[in-house]
Amino acid sequence: MAILEPPVRTEPRSGLHSGPFTTEPFFDFRNDDNARRMRAAITKVRAQLGREYDLIIGGKRLKTGDKIKSLNPAKSSEIVGIHQKAGKEHVEPAMTAALKAFESWSRTSVEERAALVFRTGDLLRSRKMEFMAWLVFEVSKNWAEADADVSETIDFCEFYAREALRLAKAQTPIQLPGEHDTLHYIPLGVGAVIPPWNFPCAIMAGMTLASIVSGNTVILKPSSDSPTIAAKFVELLEEAGMPEGVVNFCPGSGASFGDAVVAHSKTRYIAFTGSREVGLHINKAAATQAPGQLWIKRTILEMGGKDAIIVDADADIDSAVEGVAQAAFGFQGQKCSACSRAIIDERIYDKFLQLLKARVEKIQVGDPAENANIGAVINEGSMKTILSYIEQGKKDGRIITGGERAEGEGYFIKPTVIADIPPKSKIEQEEIFGPVLAVIKARGFDHALEIANDTEFGLTGAVYTSSRDKIERAIQEFHVGNLYINRKCTGAMVGAHPFGGFNMSGTDSKSGGPDYLYLFTQAKSVGEKI
């Protein structure tokens, strides 16, 4: 198995929607047939690079003067897709189309809405490798990371459709004598869905699917770094039978189109995943009542992390090294759940660093189309920012391995481990979003927990220890939304690990969990005298 691949399960199952939810299996690329099929998908998608995509507003295709060019991070001269750039002038048409569609879509039966989402999942399952190939080109995911992203998208189709059907059967806790008492979870209205580039299929689709299966309509503004995969997904929704105006595809600038949609008086909610700074900006803008606004806008925000793995002196050190390496450098560290801090008990600190250095230096950096272990970071600006953090790390600590750009045309950075980083220093506190791991020495478990909790974030964390008492303490005291014991802090699975964080990591919205659709609905209680 290639380094940093997720665990392999079985071959894909058929698209049956009865029975309990189960997660979509990953491909085993040690299988020659799977590897051959993936190479064929990459060849097929490569032939489609550079195509132009339209805005879709109310089912109509529109072109604009300004364009967005999506580039291959691993080969920056290669254009993945050319997209129309929505501006402020497109906000009102998009809102009008979404409001019109809401009139009928909100009254469409939940069974019909769920059926649409199930069909979308079936279509995606049948073209899974093709979508994976788009992720390889547009955001530089290797085959396994692309598989995990698309598999999670299928999981969201399956899980949220089932959850919508479950919510439709909600009952009041009691029935009063002489009454028929019912509880209905009704849609909110028009939502602005603003996804990130790092999970451009799963997070984009997950927020969109949760919206529409609940009966809402959507103005979708994908990241300018990954609009092509969003365009492909909207095409899939249309093929599955989505009515016009239910999802309006509007790539555009966050500072113009995005801000205008957030501020619009008819926007009912904003589902956002991205940086802390943008999330707080959206939260503030949404809290300001616009003229004619009749509701408090709901914000569903996931804003990143500064995630830590604690390795206690009694841990299985080999397992901990593997978990830290995978969590820190999978997808170039560009996950809000990535391990960016390893907090190591001083009694095993030197041995851990020795083993970690050897493990990280086995990671191959290169073109993800050839299934290198890790690819390029998303764009030139991100690369420069990450390298500036590395320079700061050289001042605050010592480079164990990496610390510079890697060879290639794209935005490649060597996986970097920086030891002896003091708590509260810049690279120990700020989200870097790249292949950079800060290693901090702890005097013991109490000190490790203190360091781990001493940031403004609280998304994921992990603890490696053989002590049951320390595990129980971590469950009580490690203040994160997703905690893992004796395993890496990335790789949340739909249904098993509802995902969302505390503090400046967001609103703890728990995507992929049983309470997620509550955020896209409002409860209406009806008491009828009989």
Distance between CA atoms of residues 465 and 469, nearest Å: 10
pTM of the model: 0.96
| All residues at 6 or more sequence positions from 171 whose CB lies less than 8 Å from its CB, including other chains | 182, 183
Domains contained in the chain, CATH given: 32-303+509-529 (3.40.605.10), 307-493 (3.40.309.10)
**Which of these, 113, 1, 2, lies nearest to 375 by C-alpha position?**
2
pLDDT of residue 16: 61
Other beta carbons less than 10 A from residue 399's beta carbon: 14
pLDDT in tens, the chain (530 residues): 334 444 343 343 444 687 889 999 999 999 999 999 999 999 999 999 999 999 999 999 999 999 999 999 999 999 999 999 999 999 999 999 999 999 999 999 999 999 999 999 999 999 999 999 999 999 999 999 999 999 999 999 999 999 999 999 999 999 999 999 999 999 999 999 999 999 999 999 999 999 999 999 999 999 999 999 999 999 999 999 999 999 999 999 988 999 999 999 999 999 999 999 999 999 999 999 999 999 999 999 999 999 999 999 999 999 999 999 999 999 999 999 999 999 999 999 999 999 999 999 999 999 999 999 999 999 999 999 999 999 999 999 999 999 999 999 999 999 999 999 999 999 999 999 999 999 999 999 999 999 999 999 999 999 999 999 999 999 999 999 999 999 999 999 999 999 999 999 999 899 999 999 999 999 999 999 99
Distance between CA atoms of residues 119 and 117, nearest Å: 5
Helices 110-126 and 227-239, packing angle to 10 deg: 120
**Could you give the residue numbers annotated as active site?**
302, 336
pLDDT of residue 359: 98
For residue 518, the surrounding DSSP H or E stretch is none
Sign of CA dihedral 489, 494, 496, 501: positive
